[in-house]
Amino acid sequence: IWWLDPELTYGNAKPFVFTQGHSVCNRSFFPCFDTPAVKCTYSATVKAPAGIQVLMSATQSTYLEEEGVYQFYMEYPVPAYLVALVAGDLIHADIGPRSRVWAEPCLLPTAISKLSGIVERWLTAAESLYGPYIWGRYDIVFLPPSFPIVAMENPCLTFIISSILESDEFLIIDVIHEVAHSWFGNAVTNATWEEMWLSEGLATYAQRRITTETYGAAFTCLETAFRLDALHRQMKLLGEDNPVSKLQVKLEPGVNPSNLMNLFTYEKGYCFVYYLSQLCGDPRHFDSFLRAYIEKYKFTSVVAQDLLDSFLNFFPELKEQCVESKAGLEFERWLNATGPPLAEPDLSQGSSLTRPVEMLFKLWTTEPLDSAAAASSVDLTKWRTFQTVLFLDRLLDGSPLPHEVIKKLSECYSSQLDSMNAEIRIRWLQIIVRNDYYPDLYKVRRFLENQMSRMYTIPLYEDLCTGTLKSFALEIFYQTQNQLHPNLRKTIQQILSQGLNPLPAIDTTAVTTDTPAMVLEDKVSEATNGAISLRDVNVSA
């Protein structure tokens, strides 16, 4: 349960509270069987002060104004982690026949302008693929930047971090992913967290089928290429033999399942589901199977064998061909082998969008550098966001770059990138930090002074502390720590404390007299892995 003082909201007017149950946190919210294997209906009575709007992930709600009491009822069985509550200075607007958006008053106009009319389009596309939307309403609430992940698929009421509002393409993908969870994850749920891919892999596949139907194959292939790049980056960091790269991960006693939220769960799971769809020959045949799968198992929890048995029974000709035992692509190997996916999708339909990225990256990284040719070849302001972040991610992977390259990159693109969304800006700032490019370092300070979100602060602090700029990071942290949620403050303190052994008290006289004194913790409970930042994960539960 996250309690926020007014200063941690956008409006700075009223306190705010929200819950985040995934994976096993709702045991601290109410007594429950905190496992996805158990589902039940629920009702709740919530009393709140006047002026505080309360919402829950429920199909029915009433409000008794004279008593200040809200009553909620979820008529369909759900696992404990999908019970969610949010309360604060929230107002709403309808954005479709069965959808409304909730946000703080200062954010509502932006939320309306980004989502009005299109959520119904996504829901209709999903229904055409996977059958009726069973939850009644599909509402969205935008939460303050302290929300610890990007989005959460609470039934009837998707939670999304407000910070993503400025990045249109990421907002589209994140909401569609949560829409897909209405079928895969919420209606049919993985019975154990050791098989989280049954929710995330299927939801990612469904998300991409929906985006293909609504935005075309090229856009879907571009987004997939961006995510698979991130998967291989994570693979390189963790090593191909790391057990967390299995789809069926073994949970040791005492391990929080949320620690297994990684890109293998999403992208390796997606690749397996995509492989199954290719065995059918036509994705529409696989859509038919998934509709039957949802109808058979809705409101229950399943294991991988349920999905695979249903698949083979639905396609008896594939069962006769023993596709589950095809050499090198055995279902068992997909589930239990470490390393990259055994097969990846054909993304050639996205070449019109990915080829320019590859060409520009080659121009900037081929020696000798012809900066004039590179600069004149592409206008980044005409690119899609996913093209720009794919380009910047590849520059990040190649950092540190030769000084001449980073200098010319800054001259060509810095002013353009400054006016783009946060998903683009943070990547450019990470390039600045990883290349120790001091002329643009002031932009890193300016960005961190205005960010309260974990996903836009942690990656930069990790990079600053990995290189030679830790003192610069400390200075910014002193100045901004009071605007950060205590949980985020603690995480950044842990990052800053790496390499300080023993940990001394910080000499605050080097900062300013009005800066609150801060002493880094004497013991760090868990070392932060600086190499694997949220840039590489960007989790939407």
Query: pLDDT tens across 12-28, in order?
Result: 999 999 999 999 999 99
413 annotated active-site: no
Residue 423 and residue 282 share a domain: no
The whole-number pLDDT of residue 500 equals 55
Residue 315's pLDDT is 98
φ and ψ at 73, to 5 degrees? -145, 125
Q: Are strands 300-302 and 53-56 parallel, antiparallel or unpaired?
A: unpaired
Which domain, by its residues, includes 33?
2-182
| 508 occurs within a structural domain | no
What was the pLDDT predicted at 499?
60
Residue 504 has pLDDT above 50, yes or no: no
Angle at 515 between CA 514 and CA 519, to 5 degrees: 140
**Catalytic choice (178, 195, 344, 423):** 178
What is the average pLDDT value for the chain, to the nearest integer?
91
Q: Quick one: 361 and 486 in the same domain?
A: yes
> Is 65 a catalytic site residue?
no
pLDDT of amino acid 372 = 84
Phi, psi of 289 (to 5 degrees): -60, -45
Pick from 174, 9, 272, 243: nearest CA to 538: 174
Binding annotation for Zn(2+): 177, 181, 200
Q: Is residue 209 part of a domain?
A: no
pLDDT digits (tens, 9 = 90+) for 36-77: 999 999 999 999 999 999 999 999 999 999 999 999 999 999
155-159, 336-340, 459-463, 503-507: range with lowest mean pLDDT: 503-507
Per-residue pLDDT, averaged over 427-436, amounts to 97
- The DSSP output letter for 509 is G
Query: pLDDT band for position 482 (50/70/90)?
Result: very high
Segment 482-508 shows an average pLDDT of 74
Phi–psi pair at 152, nearest 5 degrees:
-145, 130
- Same domain for 426 and 471, yes or no, is yes
Window from 410-424, 435-449, 524-538 with minimum mean pLDDT? 524-538
The DSSP result for 278-293, as a single string, is HHTSSHHHHHHHHHHH
Query: What CATH number did the domain enclosing 295 receive?
Result: 1.10.390.10
Q: pLDDT tier at 191 (50, 70, 90 boundaries)?
A: very high
Q: 371 pLDDT band (50/70/90 cuts)?
A: confident
Does residue 330 fall inside a structural domain?
Answer: yes
* pLDDT tens profile 319-342: 999 999 999 999 999 999 999 999
What's the CATH number where 124 sits?
Answer: 3.30.2010.30
pLDDT of residue 261: 82
| Counted domains in the chain | 3
The answer on 485 and 356 residing in a single domain is yes
pLDDT of residue 490: 96
Amino acid residing at 75: E
Q: How confident is the model at residue 255 (pLDDT cuts 50, 70, 90)?
A: confident
Q: Where is the domain boundary, 182, 204, 235?
A: 182
**pLDDT at 478 > cutoff 70:** yes
Report the distance separating Cα 319 and Cα 333, nearest Å: 17
The alpha carbon of 31 is separated from its chain's Cα centroid by a whole number of angstroms, namely 28
The long-range contacts involving 352-358, CB below 8 angstroms and separated by at least 24 positions, are 352/218, 353/218, 353/219, 353/221, 353/222, 353/384, 353/386, 353/387, 354/221, 354/222, 354/225, 354/387, 354/390, 356/383, 356/387, 357/387, 357/390, 357/391, 357/394
Helices 385-397, 217-238: axis angle to 10 degrees equals 20
Assess whether 36 and 174 both reside in one domain: yes
Statement to judge: residues 154 and 80 lie in one domain: yes
* CATH number for the domain that contains residue 485: 1.25.40.320
Q: Is residue 390 domain-resident?
A: yes
Q: Average pLDDT for residues 392-397, to the nearest whole number?
A: 97
| C-alpha to C-alpha distance for 405 and 227, rounded to whole angstroms | 26
Q: Residue 86 pLDDT > 60, yes or no?
A: yes
Mean pLDDT across the stretch 286-304?
98
Residue 505 in this model has a pLDDT that exceeds 80: no
Instruction: Answer whether residue 522 is part of any domain.
Output: no
Annotated binding-site ranges: 177, 181, 200
Identify which of 69-73, 253-257, 370-374, 528-532 has the greatest average pLDDT. Answer: 69-73
Residue 91 has pLDDT above 60, yes or no: yes
Would the pLDDT of 154 be above 90?
A: yes
Check whether residue 312 and residue 397 sit in a common domain. no
Q: Is the pLDDT of residue 521 over 70?
A: no
pLDDT tops 70 at residue 361: yes
**Is 190 within a domain?**
no
Asked whether residue 537 carries a pLDDT value surpassing 80, the answer given is no
Active-site residue, selected from the candidate residues 76, 81, 266, 274: 266
Q: Are residues 128 and 158 in the same domain?
A: yes
Q: Are residues 70 and 110 in the same domain?
A: yes
Strand 16-18 to 2-4 pairing: antiparallel
Residue 401 lies in a domain: yes
How high is the pLDDT of residue 535?
33
In this structure, are 324 and 458 located in the same domain?
no
Tell me, what's the pLDDT at 150?
Answer: 96
- Name the least confident of 260-269, 358-367, 462-471, 510-519: 510-519
Q: Which uninterrupted H or E stretch holds 95?
A: strand 91-96
> Residue 136: CA atoms inside 13 Å, Cβ hemisphere, count?
12
pLDDT at 122 over 80: yes
511 domain residue, yes or no: no
> What phi, psi does 449 have (nearest 5°)?
-70, -20
210, pLDDT greater than 80: yes
- pLDDT tens string 433-443: 999 999 999 99
Better-predicted residue by pLDDT, 501 or 437: 437
Residues 140 and 274 reside in one and the same domain = no
Residues 367 and 460 occupy one common structural domain: yes
Percentage of the chain exceeding pLDDT 70: 92
